[in-house]
Chains A and B, each alone.
Chain A
C-alpha cells in the first residue's frame, strides 16, 4: 500500500479500517543470500539498500526483541554532518544527503526537520577551533556558518550569557542539521525493505554461528533454529562484543551506557539543536514539545541499559548553567542505551578475518545520524566485497596500522570519546 494524501483520505472516509500491516511477519526460510543480525535502524537500512541498490533480495533481518527496541529507539534523534576529519566528513555528508530525500525514497513520513544545530563556543581558542571545523566543512561542500554572540542572542535569547566560566561568545551553525523521528526511521526502512521481499524476523536471537570445516560462516544458530546464509552482516552496536565473541573475535570496543532525558511538553521554545559541549549538555525540542536532552557517558562499562545519579545531576547542572529557565520544567522520562565505544570514537565497517562475516559496529553515540549512510555502505560491502568509497577509512585494522580517526583527539580510552 502506497501512502499518500489520497490513501489517507480514502482510509479516513472508511473509518480507518482499511490499513494493512506495514511489514509481514514471516517464518524464517532455510537459507538466505545475506542474513543481517540486528533489527535496528542500521540493520534494516542495510537490508533496504541491499535490495534496492544492489539487487540482493533474498535477505533476512534477525532481531532478538522487536525492531527498533535498542538504540534506534533510545537516541536523541539528531542528524548532522559537522565532522572535520577525512573519512568522517564525506561519510556523514552522504548520510545527510540521504536524510534529505529519505521520506520520498521510503514513502514514509520520518519527520526529517532541518532546523539547524548550533555548537556554542566560550573562548577565543574554541572559536578558532570551530572556525577551522567550519572551514573544513565548507571546503567539502557542507553548509557551516560561524555566528558571533550578537547573532546567537537573536535566535537563542533565553541563554545565560553572563556565565562567568563559560560565557556564550558565539557558535558554529549547520543550518541543514536537525532531527528526525527515530521510530519512524526504523518503521520506514522495515516497510520499504519488506516491500522488496526482505524477511524481518523478530524475537529471533542469534546464539551462535554455523561454520564449515574451513571456518567459513555458513549460517547462524538462532532461537528459531539454524538459518543458512551466504554472508552474515552484524549490525548490533551495543552488543557487538557479545555477538563477535560467538565467532571467537575480540574487538577494539567497550560497551558503555549513555543516558537521555525528556521533559514534559511545552510550547515551541528551542528552534533547533543547541550543544553546550563545555558544560556536557545538549538539547533540542521534539515535535510533541518535550525538551530532549543529554550529556556525557556514565563512564563505566555496562550492558544494563540504565545509568546512575551522578550523570543525571551533571546533565541537569549543565542545563541550568546554559538556560536557567529549564529549572522550571519537569523531567518526564529518563533512560539509558548501550553504546559501542570504539577505541578512536569512530565506527568500524569492514570484513572480519572470518570468511563470510561482516562487521558494522563501534558507533559510539553517533549512530542515529549515520543510519542511512551506514545502511548504504554496509550493503555495498556485503554486495561487492569491497568498501564503499565513503567508508574506506572505517577499517577494522586501522588500530594496528595507526590510522585512527580520532575526532576528539582522546586516544584509546573509550569512556572519554
Chain B
C-alpha cells in the first residue's frame, strides 16, 4: 500500500500511522443546559467498544507522522487494500474546525 497524501504526494506506508474507522463520533455526555444525557452510557459504550468492522470500502483516519503530520481521511477497501480516495481530515492543514468539539 502507498498513500497519496494531498500535501506531500504519494508516500510509502511506513510513514503513516493508523487510528481506525472514521465513523465513530464521540457522543455528548451532557446536554447544552448541563443536564446529563440519559442514554450517555449506551452511547459511550457504542463509541468506545463497538465497531462495524467493514469488509469493503471504509473511511479511516491515518496520520502522516513521517511527512506533513496531518490527519487524513482515507477511503480504502479492507478486502483488497485498494485506496480509492485520500483527503485531509476535517481540521487538518489550513482547514480549522468551526469550534472545539465540532470535528466530524
Interface residues of A (CB under 8 A from B): 241-242, 250-255, 299-304, 306, 308-310, 313, 343, 399-400, 412-415
Contact = CB atoms under 8 A, between A and B. Distances in A.
Contacts of B79: 303-304
A246 to B, nearest CB: 12
Contacts of A310: 12-14
Contact of B52 (A250, A300, A303, A308): A250
A301 B58 contact: yes
A332 to B, nearest CB: 24
Interface in B84-101: none
Contact of A300 (B49, B51, B60): B60
Contacts of A300: 18, 60, 76
B78 A308 contact: no
Contacts of A415: 18, 20
A301 B19 CA distance: 10
Given A255-B55, A308-B13, 20 more contacts: A241-B51, A241-B52, A250-B52, A252-B49, A252-B51, A255-B78, A299-B17, A301-B20, A301-B53, A301-B78, A302-B78, A302-B81, A303-B78, A303-B79, A304-B78, A304-B80, A309-B14, A310-B12, A343-B49, A415-B18
A250 B50 contact: yes
B32 interface: no
Interface in B29-59: 45, 48-55, 58
A334 B45 CA distance: 38
A412 B46 CA distance: 12
A254 B53 contact: yes
Contacts of A253: 51, 53
A248 B102 CA distance: 30
15 contacts: A251-B50, A251-B51, A252-B50, A253-B51, A254-B21, A300-B60, A301-B21, A301-B58, A301-B78, A302-B81, A303-B55, A308-B13, A308-B81, A399-B45, A399-B48
B81 A304 contact: yes
A340 to B, nearest CB: 9
Interface of B: 1, 12-14, 17-18, 20-21, 45, 48-55, 58, 60, 76, 78-81
Nearest to B53: A241
A300 B54 CA distance: 12
A232 to B, nearest CB: 20
Contacts of B14: 309-310, 313
A400 B55 CA distance: 25
B51 A299 contact: no
Nearest to A340: B53
A301 B60 CA distance: 9
For the complex of A and B, 9 pairs with smallest distance between CB atoms: A241-B53, A310-B14, A252-B49, A300-B18, A399-B49, A250-B50, A303-B79, A303-B55, A299-B18
Contacts of A303: 55, 78-79
Most chain B CB atoms below 10 A, which of A241, A242, A302, A343:
A302
Nearest to A300: B18
Nearest to B47: A412
A302 B18 CA distance: 12
Contacts of B1: 308
A241 B45 CA distance: 17
A242 B79 CA distance: 12
A254 B50 contact: no
A412 B53 contact: no
A344 to B, nearest CB: 9
B21 to A, nearest CB: 7
A250 B13 CA distance: 29
A361 to B, nearest CB: 11
Contacts of B52: 241, 250
Nearest to A240: B53
Most chain A CB atoms below 10 A, which of B17, B48, B76:
B48
Contacts of B17: 299
Nearest to A313: B14
A399 B78 CA distance: 25
B13 A309 contact: yes
A39 B78 CA distance: 23
B51 to A, nearest CB: 5
Contacts of A308: 1, 13, 81
Contacts of B13: 308-310
Nearest to B45: A400
A309 B12 CA distance: 9
A241 B54 CA distance: 8
A255 B20 CA distance: 11
